[in-house]
Amino acid sequence: MQISALEVARLLDNRPTGKKADLEFKEIAPESLPKTIEPDADEVAKVVEMVKAAPDVREDIVMQLKERIEKGEYKVSGEEIADMMIRRMKADKTR
């Protein structure tokens, strides 16, 4: 699973903000983190564990979208699809 810096920032804030994060993230293994009492290191370790535990496919979301598509309630423009593809490509390049 690939997660952009914006998605990690939202996860850390525990709320969607719509703001872009000016952060650069590198993959960190929890065992490589120094054992310290600083809360930032603990937070990073928690987020790393949360990401590792997250499923690659969110079945609940897939089923909700499938139902909406079948009912004709889910409509996405080609412009929106193209925008998301470009955003994903940019996020992947920052890795």
Q: What's the pLDDT score for residue 38? A: 61
Domain tally, the chain: 2
Confidence of residue 83 (pLDDT cuts 50, 70, 90): very high
Residues 43 and 62 in one domain: no
pTM for the predicted model, two decimal places = 0.35
Residues 48 and 62 in one domain: no
Q: What's the pLDDT score for residue 28? A: 74
Half-sphere exposure of 19 (CA within 13 A, CB side): 9
Structural domain harbouring 17: 1-54
pLDDT digits (tens, 9 = 90+) for 36-54: 656 677 888 888 899 888 8
The more confidently predicted of residues 12 and 47 is: 47
Residues 19 and 3 in one domain: yes
Cα 17 to Cα 40: distance, rounded to the nearest angstrom? 21
Distances (CA, A) of 48 to 16, 20, 26: 19, 20, 11
Residues 47 and 86 in one domain: no
Residues 62 and 47 in one domain: no
